[in-house]
Amino acid sequence: MGTVRNPILPGCYPDPSICRVGDDFYLVTSTFEYFPGLPVHRSRDLVGWEQIGHALDRPGQLDLAGVRSSHGLFAPTLRHHDGTFWLICTLVGQREGAPGGNFYVTATDPAGPWSDPVWIDEEGIDPSFLFDDDGRVWVHGTRQPPEPRWHDQTEVWVRELDPATGRLVGEEHVIWHGALENAVWAEAPHLYAVDGRYYLLAAEAGTEFHHAESVARADTVTGPYEGYRGNPVLTHRHLGRGADVVGVGHADLVQAADGSWWAVALGMRPYGGYHYNLGRETFLLPVAWEDGWPVFAPGEGRVPAVVDVPFAGEPRPGVTQGATSGLVRPDDVRWTSLRGPAQDFATPDGDGWRLALDPTTLAEPGTPAFLGLRQQHTDVDLRVRLTAPLAEGSGEEAGLVVRQSEDDHVRLHVTAPTAGGRTRDVVAVHRRGGVDHERGRVTLAAGPDEPLVLTISARGQDYALTAATAATAATAGADGDGDGEVVAVVDGRELDTVATGGFVGLWLGVYGTSNGRPTSTSVTVHTVEYLLP
């Protein structure tokens, strides 16, 4: 027997969907405005997970241009049928004239390549597939009804799909409005055929503190559906805001080869008060069936801190749960950019990158020169060694960022040389609600071609931003402890979604911009380290 500690995917991996093919499990999560989109993870035993690719990884598949933070790719569902993987999702907030709404892509290899999107002519979000035993394919999703009876009421619809044409056919059926009257956002529906019945698993109450999961069943896929009198079958809202995990919901079920049942669901881990900087994460729960209904975490009724998996063995080499500490090389699958491919501005260079500055800034919904990693730990250092030969008087900047959105982020950036090229400033700027506020500034005795070391040190909700010349950092010792001057310490409670709105956790990354001016400047990012203290 093996064990796994929750969450199984720490950091911003929300809206998990899972399926099994043979002995392997595959899992996909939402990515919103980040590119490449929809990471695909694989596991042999639900314990060790490895990311094997992305479903959306080339510019021609999807247009994310202009999509603002916390919009973009919402709530994918992953299924496998007859040798093909099917992934259905929603694109939200696309620019006028660009394709948007619900679509699906397919692949014979989950590592890719995946097909171009097939768009589905149906409104709403959170679509899902059911491949029925009779060969029919059913698409279902959630939307607001034409005449809602209460604020934020939604309805779940189901309709048959013709896989040969990609078109919905036949009559549409509305099958669910939520388990409770006045329940808002009945969403994330998944249908399953189990022992001759059809089960509908759906979230409700919104993806925040009151999030809950309910279940209904029917004798036919189109209903009518009977709600379980034990609903909700999964929630943490009764535990209060001081619980270790809150907002649990958006679940998906899978059956293992040994016949056991499991669920993945999202949840948030607050710290430093009711704030969850790591975003919505993926958790694992055992499921049992009693009296024809699923029971989540039987005997416990909540997300367990540690899950026993009877068929799990020792973790395989190269398969890890979450981020590891150390150097993050260019071929690491965790790297993300914004709305477009990193190769437009970044070229791998040894253990780091050659980063071409771009006029686009982090305050714009474009594709700035940005490379980021999810923050996956409450205590972590992101340390970067870079050489930034910025043009004097150009307004160019390069450095690190703690990113929530265009309107809310913290930058630690190098400015162009001053004093005849002998010194340069490193500045900390906190952008709050769309307004920049300088939080600190230090002057380093460094010319344009001298490497610098910039560090973001998160310790709970304190984000310390430090800067040093490479020579100064080297004298601090191999572990880097105590190197550099503290430019500012920022309160992370002003950066999470509780404070700013939206749906994503924090990203830590490197960036460079000419602030709207044409430029030919490049920055050398020698190394990037994600370090656990």
Give the CATH number for residue 248: 2.115.10.20
Q: Are residues 470 and 368 in the same domain?
A: yes
Q: Are residues 264 and 336 in the same domain?
A: no
Query: How many H-runs (helices) and E-runs (strands) does the chain carry?
Result: 2, 39
Domain housing 365: 326-531
Specify which residues 397 forms β-bridges with. Answer: 513
Q: Are residues 400 and 522 in the same domain?
A: yes
Task: Please tell me the distance from the alpha carbon of residue 312 to that of residue 298, in angstroms, as a whole number.
Answer: 19
Pick the last residue of a domain from 243, 277, 309. 309
Residue 442 identity: V
The first and second tokens of residue 312, run together, are 């799990």
Q: What was the pLDDT predicted at 392? A: 83
pLDDT at 428 over 70: yes
Do residues 459 and 277 make contact, with C-beta atoms less than 8 angstroms apart?
A: no
Confirm whether 360 is domain-assigned: yes
Predicted confidence (pLDDT) per residue in 253-309, tens digit: 999 999 999 999 999 999 999 999 999 999 999 999 999 999 999 999 999 999 999
Q: Are residues 38 and 165 in the same domain?
A: yes
Q: Are residues 511 and 419 in the same domain?
A: yes
Confirm whether 112 is domain-assigned: yes
Question: Does residue 15 carry a catalytic annotation?
Answer: yes
Say which residue, 213 or 95, is predicted with more confidence.
213
Confirm whether 152 is domain-assigned: yes
Q: What was the pLDDT predicted at 480? A: 44
pLDDT at 144 over 70: yes
Q: Are residues 231 and 338 in the same domain?
A: no
Confirm whether 316 is domain-assigned: no
Burial state string for 260-272 with b = 16 or more CB within 10 A and e = fewer than 16: ebbbbbbbbbbbe
Q: Are residues 415 and 366 in the same domain?
A: yes
Largest CA distance in the chain: 80
Confirm whether 430 is domain-assigned: yes
Task: Please tell me the distance from the alpha carbon of residue 442 to that of residue 424, in angstroms, as a whole number.
Answer: 8
* % of the chain surpassing 90 pLDDT: 89
Task: Please tell me the distance from the alpha carbon of residue 128 to that of residue 47, in angstroms, as a whole number.
Answer: 25
Q: How many CB atoms lie within 10 A of CB 352?
A: 23
Confirm whether 139 is domain-assigned: yes
Pick the last residue of a domain from 276, 309, 342. 309
Spatial CA neighbour of 502 closest among 92, 174, 122, 115: 92
Q: Are residues 332 and 240 in the same domain?
A: no
Average pLDDT, the chain: 94
Q: Are residues 111 and 240 in the same domain?
A: yes
> pTM for this one?
0.96
Give the CATH number for residue 438: 2.60.120.200
Count Cβ atoms within 10 A of the Cβ of residue 505 and give its class: 0-12 exposed, 13-18 middle, 19 or more buried.
buried
Q: How many domains does the chain have?
A: 2
Q: What was the pLDDT predicted at 483? A: 63
| Active-site choice (33, 187, 358, 406) | 187
Q: How many CB atoms lie within 10 A of CB 142?
A: 27
Strands 397-403 and 379-387: unpaired
Q: What was the pLDDT predicted at 317? A: 58
Confirm whether 278 is domain-assigned: yes
Residue 238 identity: H
Confirm whether 267 is domain-assigned: yes
Residues 6+ apart with CB under 8 A from 307: 3, 4, 5, 6, 46, 284, 285, 286
Q: Are residues 137 and 223 in the same domain?
A: yes
Do residues 372 and 508 make contact, with C-beta atoms less than 8 angstroms apart?
A: yes
Q: Which position has the token pair 């009518």?
A: 224
Q: Are residues 15 and 148 in the same domain?
A: yes
Q: Are residues 221 and 256 in the same domain?
A: yes
Pick the last residue of a domain from 263, 283, 309. 309
Question: Does residue 187 carry a catalytic annotation?
Answer: yes
Residues 6+ apart with CB under 8 A from 97: none
